[in-house]
Structure 1
Amino acid sequence: MNKTTNWLTAAAVLWATASSVGAYAQGVIKIGEINSYKAQPAFLEPYRKGLELAVEEINSSGGVNGKKLELITRDDNANPGDAVRVAEDLISREKVDVLTGTFLSHIGLALTDFAKQRKFFFLAAEPLTDKIVWENGNRYTYRLRPSTYMQVAMLVPEAAALKKKRWALVYPNYEYGQSAVATFKELLKAAQPDVEFVTEQATPLGKVDAGSVVQALADSKPDAVFNVLFGADLSKFVREGNTRGLFKGRDVVSLLTGEPEYMDPLKDESPNGWIVTGYPWYGIQTPEHAAFRKAYEAKFKDYPRLGSVVGYSAIMSLATGMKKAQSTETEKLVKAFEGLSVKTPFGPIIYRAEDHQSTMGAYVGRTKNEGGKGVMVDYRYLDGAKYLPSAEQVAKRRPAD
């Protein structure tokens, strides 16, 4: 009886071991992705398509470390508390291997802190606030998209070259907008000491009272305007500004406005001559972008937006990091991402060890209303690495890991 029992026990152990090995060999890598899909569809629907394209390409080529990728997405309702609850559910119930995503800066900061508390790897794909990699930075969080500081630093030389003294500022009144305006004031004042900031209009996100804002800007009689509004707020601002003549004879420097997500809805109201960051998908001739655009258009029968590039590059970054680490374990991924080089539609980028910020750049140019549609002209790609502070400067702003 004892011999039979021992044999059955040994067989059960062998079967269980073989089953677990087989499950591992045939397993998947689960990527938990969190975003404000319902609140910010203009950017995030193309972004989701970029995610899907990257996952499809990676899986069709054999996956990562012998495993297929599985993407599990959740909506955060544009609420930091909801984002944290969803993140906990993804880790505890769905057993995801990594977290990525977020669009709004305050959501990104909430998950940055969550990653620190849970000691769990988080790639912030889109949120732009500098705090994610500097003041609130931690060893478990990396960020893909060029930050607020980087994009403003790209625009300031253009703004200074205008030699305008009186500037008006308009921005959404939350972390991203506040950070963008603070950086613009600091960098422009350094480049042009005699500059004056004659008014600031801080508007509720998604609830801009465009008429009163435009009137307040006009009443301050500025020589130029720095705008940080985006999405539906931008459309309302442009419409009222055109109607009331705010932009006539005035230069405008505008963050993000050249992105097709925000330019396309303006249609024949698109402004002329604004200095912007954006994404002229129709004119980028590099081999990397041509291959991405061809694959994207073939799959979705649509042209890419900037969100598409960000989503695609986020998944490619995770896959590249996992291959380098030969693991999805958090500590191994943290080390693998230090100095990690990743191929993207904008060319190769590097995740800096000193602040976990990628060197992805941005296109800077001017807007043009061409046949009733807004496009970017006179644009050029600026390498993000050239618009980042030094390791010594970062050390003064970022807490030690």
Structure 2
Amino acid sequence: MLLRCVIVAWMIMGICGTAYSENSEPIQLLVCEVLSGAFQEAGESYLEGVEYAVEEINSGGGLLGRKVEIVPIDNTLSPDVAVQKLSEYLQKSPVKYVLSGLGSHIALALSPLAKEKKFILFTYGAEADSLTGEKCNRYFFRTVANTSMHSGALAFWMVKNGYKKVFSIAQDYVFGRAATASFKKKLKELSPSAEFLGEIYHPIGEKDFNQHIQKMLASNPDIVFTPNWGSDLILLMKTAKAMGLKTKLAGYYLNDNGSLKALGDDKAIIGNFTAENYMVSIPTPENKSFVAKFHKDKGYYPILTRGKAYMATRFWAEAVKAAGKDEVEAVINAWEGLLFSGPAGKWYMRPCDHQTLMPIWIAELVKDNPFFDHAFVGTATNIPAKFIAVPCAESGCPGLEK
């Protein structure tokens, strides 16, 4: 398949576009996200990234000459609710494009529905390997790292920095277990002498981390790996600080400003490490321009949630443009093999499993940063996809049949 390249002109959107037709039917983009409950703030932050991308698209003339319209759906972080609400919407209106955010269990529930009803489901937040592995299908696209890539980047960094004794803690659901399994596999592959001193799985929305921290203190690890997010990350870090755990954390979402702000304790933040496929501190000219424009337009920064959702939306839009028509099968064919260049580097949609290959960025949490008064990520460095991507033959995807 031919490689197609799209370079987005980040700073001129809205200047050169022709106006979309007010009389044409809008292209609907359904966003199935957590918009209530304990994780509402994270879900709304993701939605803000989608909204900014759509604002740029519409101000630049729309998509294929048509306005893009966002339809938010609150899934309450429940797979059953997500399927129910989306099914109800499908009965009222045809659906071609759905974005899934927080929760791999949500995406896993929606993916079979996408295949059955033949709409494109893509995600900026669901990372469980199985989504583009054994559960892959033609109608699902992942525009975020999978757990093998994300965990692999942290394992790569740990080995490079000499860490040997590791403890892990994760939420007890498909994503937490997949992230931990991928991490353990990659660390052992890179450093056979590394020791796993213990691993903990706890319910989403855990209320008491005391017993978990006690186990960490007793094992005395060099570093603690965690893919926790939201309130489970906040309370983990808060309890670790209160109980005197000096060991640094290496986590998926330690650059989540909402969590760090809610934590409210720089001493619990500084010195930890995080990895992501987007950070505001990526030191490229493209990202610096993007961050400056976003902040000027919105008054806040495109932190990881907003940045990831923004780029996922732009990548989808470029696939629609490449297809040249608003038809699901045409967009699928156009997206496969598409190369997208933006603030976080080059992203490639791998045709064999619809997993986006991209660099993963790693940074230390530092006191002095140009974004916030509290501690936040320092300058990011990247690990290229070639060091962490699982080959197609090993992904577990049996094939993407039409």
TM tier, smaller: 0.7 to 0.9
The unaligned stretches of length 5 or more in structure 1 are: 1-22
SS at match of 1:127: coil
Q: Which letter maps to 1:209?
A: D
- Would the alpha carbon gap of residues 287 and 92 (structure 1) be closer, same or farther in structure 2, given more than 3 Å must change? farther
CA offsets per residue over residues 205-251 of structure 1, 9 Å max, x none? 1124211111122123333322222221122111221122222xx34
Cα 1:280–1:321, aligned 2, differ >3 Å: closer, same or farther? Answer: closer
Offset, 1:378: 5.2
Q: Deviations over 1:32-60 (max 9, x none)?
A: 11111224233222221211111111112
Sort the Cα spacing of 1:217 and 1:72 in 2 relative to 1 into closer, same or farther, 3 A.
same
Q: Which residue of 2 aligns with 1:382?
A: 383
Deviation at 1:386, TM superposition (A): 4.2
Match of 2:262 among 261, 265, 279: 265
Tell me by how many angstroms 1:61 deviates: 1.5
- 2:105 is aligned to 106
Question: TM-score under structure 1 normalisation?
Answer: 0.86
The aligned counterpart of 2:57 is 58
CA 131–156 in structure 1, closer or farther in 2 if over 3 Å, else same: same
Distance 2:366 2:212 in 1: 24
Q: After the TM superposition, which parts of structure 1 deviate over 4 Å for at least 4 consecutive aligned residues?
A: none
Does the CA contact (< 8 Å) of 2:43 and 2:101 recur in 1? no
Q: Conserved in 2, the CA contact under 8 Å of 1:36 and 1:103?
A: yes
- Deviation of residue 165 (structure 1)? 3.9
Q: How far does the alpha carbon of each residue in 1:121-167 deviate from its partner, in whole angstroms, 9 at most, with x for none?
A: 11122111111111111111001011111111111122223444432
Amino acid at match of 1:123: F
Equivalent residue number for residue 332 of structure 2: 334
Q: Is the 8 A contact 2:353 2:399 kept in 1?
A: no
Hey, what's the Cα distance between the residues in 1 that align with 2:43 and 2:220?
36
Counterparts of 1:386 and 1:94, CA distance in 2? 43
Inter-partner Cα distance in structure 1 for 2:345 and 2:134: 28
Change in CA separation of 1:52 and 1:199 when aligned onto 2, cut-off 3 Å: same
C-alpha change, 1:261 and 1:340, in structure 2 (3 Å) is: farther
Look up the match of 2:36.
Answer: 38
Could you tell me which amino acid in structure 2 is paired with residue 275 of structure 1? F
Q: What's the CA shift for 1:84?
A: 1.0
Aligned length: 374
Q: CA deviation at 1:24?
A: 11
Counterpart of 1:77 in structure 2 is 76
Q: Which moved more, 1:337-346 or 1:104-113?
A: 337-346
- Given that residues 158 and 275 in structure 1 are in contact (C-alpha distance below 8 angstroms), is that contact kept between their aligned partners in structure 2? no
In structure 2, the CA distance between the partners of 1:302 and 1:251, relative to structure 1 (3 Å rule), is: closer
> Conserved in 1, the CA contact under 8 Å of 2:100 and 2:106?
no
- The alpha carbon displacement at 1:29 in A equals 0.8
Which stretch shifts more, 187-196 or 259-268? Answer: 259-268
**Equivalent-residue separation in structure 2 for 1:280 and 1:339 (angstroms):** 25
Indicate whether 1:232 and 2:231 are aligned: yes
CA contact (8 A) 1:317 1:342 kept: yes
State the alpha-carbon separation in 2 of the partners of residues 262 and 147 from structure 1.
22
Q: What corresponds to 1:321 in structure 2?
A: 319
Cα distance in structure 1, aligned partners of 2:251 and 2:115: 33
The residue type paired with residue 230 of structure 1 is W
TM-score normalised per structure 2: 0.86
Q: How has the CA–CA distance of structure 1 residues 30 and 170 changed in structure 2, closer, same or farther, with 3 Å as cutoff?
A: same
Q: Greater shift after overlay, 34-43 or 76-85? A: 34-43
Task: Determine whether 1:359 maps to 2:360.
Answer: no
Are positions 1:274 and 2:258 aligned together? no
1:306 & 1:237 partners in 2: Cα distance?
20
Shift of 1:292: 2.5
Greater shift, 188-197 or 369-378, is seen at: 369-378
How far apart are 1:354 and its partner, in Å? 1.3
Give distance in 2, aligned partners of 1:346 and 1:163. 27
Aligned positions of 1:1-400 closer than 5 A: 26-39=24-37, 40-247=39-246, 250-269=247-266, 270-278=268-276, 280-281=279-280, 283-370=281-368, 373-377=374-378, 379-394=380-395, 397-400=396-399
Cα RMSD for the two superposed structures: 2.2
Secondary structure of 1:96's counterpart equals coil
The structure richer in helix per residue is: 1
Write the distance in 2 (CA, Å) between the matches of 1:378 and 1:100.
30
Between the aligned partners of 1:240 and 1:314, the Cα distance in structure 2 is 34
- Change in Cα spacing, 1:254 to 1:284, as seen in structure 2 (3 Å) is closer
Q: Does the residue aligned with 1:258 lie in a helix, a strand or coil?
A: coil
Measured in 2, the distance between the counterparts of 1:225 and 1:125 equals 25
Say whether the 8 Å CA contact 1:361–1:382 is kept in structure 2. yes
AA of the residue aligned to 2:254 = T
Judged with a 3 Å threshold, the aligned counterparts in structure 2 of structure 1 residues 262 and 78 are, in CA distance, closer, same or farther, namely same
Q: More deviation in 131-140 or 347-356?
A: 347-356
User: Could you say which structure has the larger radius of gyration?
Assistant: 1
Cα distance in 2, alignment partners of residues 150 and 339 from structure 1: 19
